Chain A
């Protein structure tokens, strides 16, 4: 333990309103604390700079999953275990379930929350690429009310987000689709379980008559933020699938991502593997059009 524990405050509000009031009263003084699976690690390492936290874990309004005809709403405090167990998510948003099952071990999945995964803003987080590929929206709340934004606009720079000091991430909305999309998710972390990704690739596509009608591609660990690759998407959209496209698309992706070398991997590896996974994704269209070619 490398922290001075008596120097940290963690207070438990009685309701969402009280939590939001606290955040609004003295902007910047309080930060939210959810399942603790990221913040406690920083604390233990003596790297948790901020000292005052609001314990939102017990705020009931932020838990739970609800489903309507058009959307699935996931409370920010929904754990990875709850996500994996949800029948609609299993059926329609399988990439998110896989991301949840590949985040840490079971004990982490029982405490780690999807909202925490998003606002911790690690470029290596496992669920953001899936959420970006699903075109998720976020609902942010404060004492002033709520607002809904596309998730693709949320991350602005390394650990910078479109999130006010008085705001909480309340829920994530996933649009349900009538068409069955091809889904491809692959986390590359060297080890099978409990790895931190070196590259994480999530993509969905609607392919009809060998033409890519819609495609959404997002990557983790290849840029300062979880990255939606819109240039690569535009390159692919409307095109007939041909062998020759693969290499061009890979070049496009190479221009769009900005991987670095760190203690876990190298820039070159991240770039090459990202491009390889794009190839694997594109090649999966022919053989597995209506099955999700998700590798496990």
Chain B
């Protein structure tokens, strides 16, 4: 085995597109997404897994991309905020609700918050308010006081109850 530290080739699928990137083994997934793949919707807020601004969906689970070294990314399937709007460019339901209900203010936590909310609703389509609180507790927002975010998520749940059509939101 060659132990010298050189960039490694990492294959990954991002927002449905397969690609291979070169990166140092300990380079953060966050930096590769932002700088190499220009997916700047992934934000950096703290660099220590505390704020959730860098949240992406990684093999179906939300993760903090600032805490994932590229050596652990090979073969991964990743979704970023850039990959969640509907095919025709329309906002998905969660995004739409965030706009309508004031869930986004300064917007820096929003991509991570939207992904966390979508992931929450996938795991639990009808969360209680306390489940919403716990489910989003890893994503810090300094603007909203969270109330409008809860309202947005609750609205998505309610509109889903009324609407039987499948929707990727």
Contact = CB atoms under 8 A, between A and B. Distances in A.
Contact of B72 (A55, A104, A110): A55
A41 B3 contact: no
Measured as residues with beta carbon below 8 angstroms from the partner, the interface class of chain A is 35 or more
Given A7-B5, A107-B64, A194 B138 contact: yes
B72 A57 contact: yes
Interface string B43-54: 000011110100
A104 B49 contact: yes
B157 interface: no
A7 B1 CA distance: 18
A197 to B, nearest CB: 15
A192 interface: yes
A8 B25 CA distance: 7
Given A5-B26, A10-B25, A193-B137, A40 B52 contact: no
Contacts of B139: 105
Given A107-B62, A110-B62, A193-B137, A10 B49 contact: no
A12 B26 CA distance: 12
Contacts of B47: 1, 44-45
Nearest to A58: B72
Interface string B70-101: 01101000000000000000000000000000
A6 interface: yes
B43 to A, nearest CB: 14
B127 interface: no
B5 A8 contact: yes
Nearest to A22: B1
Interface in A91-115: 101, 104-108, 110-111
A41 B49 contact: yes
B68 A11 contact: no
Contact of B69 (A40, A101, A194): A40
Contact of A111 (B48, B68, B134): B68
Contacts of A10: 25-26, 69, 71-72
Contacts of B62: 106-107, 110
A41 B48 contact: yes
A104 B71 contact: no
Interface in B105-164: 116, 119, 134-135, 137-139
Interface of B: 1, 3, 5, 24-28, 31, 47-50, 52, 55, 58, 61-64, 66-69, 71-72, 74, 116, 119, 134-135, 137-139
16 contacts: A1-B31, A9-B25, A9-B26, A10-B71, A12-B71, A12-B74, A36-B69, A40-B69, A44-B66, A106-B116, A106-B137, A107-B62, A110-B63, A111-B63, A111-B68, A194-B137
